[in-house]
Amino acid sequence: MIFYGYRSCSTCRDALKFLRLCGVEFVQKEIRETPPSPTELALALRLLGGERKKLFNTSGAEFRAMGLKDQIDSSDDASLIALIQQQGNLCKRPFLIEQNRGIVLVGFHEATWREALGL
């Protein structure tokens, strides 16, 4: 299981605290420096029902500055994944993925995470 987060994000800190209290084993990565891989993002997009907007940090300055709100529907998946690869801050955080079990969680909602992780 891989947890992508940003150390200055209070929601990421809450998610980390939750995972640790529940004894969940994971590898932690900084989303800005090491965004999810193209394979992980493609899987996430599929598991999120193709809802591209769910992959993006829509409240972030980069998202607004790049005018991505208007581009999400007209761009192809590969282009959007490439954007996140170039700027990890564009990815919604926290981002938790367990490829073998087909788990992708974006944003932190304790009840949702608890259910998805079987806790």
Binned average pLDDT, 10 residues per bin, the chain of 119 residues: 95 97 97 95 94 92 90 91 94 95 96 96
pLDDT of residue 73: 86
What's the structural domain count of the chain? 1
Q: Please give the model's pTM, rounded to 2 decimal places.
A: 0.93
Q: 5 exposed, middle or buried (CB, 10 Å; 0-12, 13-18, 19+)?
A: buried
What is the residue range of 13's domain? 2-116
Q: Is the peptide bond before 36 cis (omega within 30 degrees of 0)?
A: no
Angle between helices 38-47 and 77-86 (to 10 degrees): 130
The domain that holds 46 is classified in CATH as: 3.40.30.10
Angstrom distance (rounded) from CA 94 to CA 30: 10
pLDDT at residue 46 in the model:
94
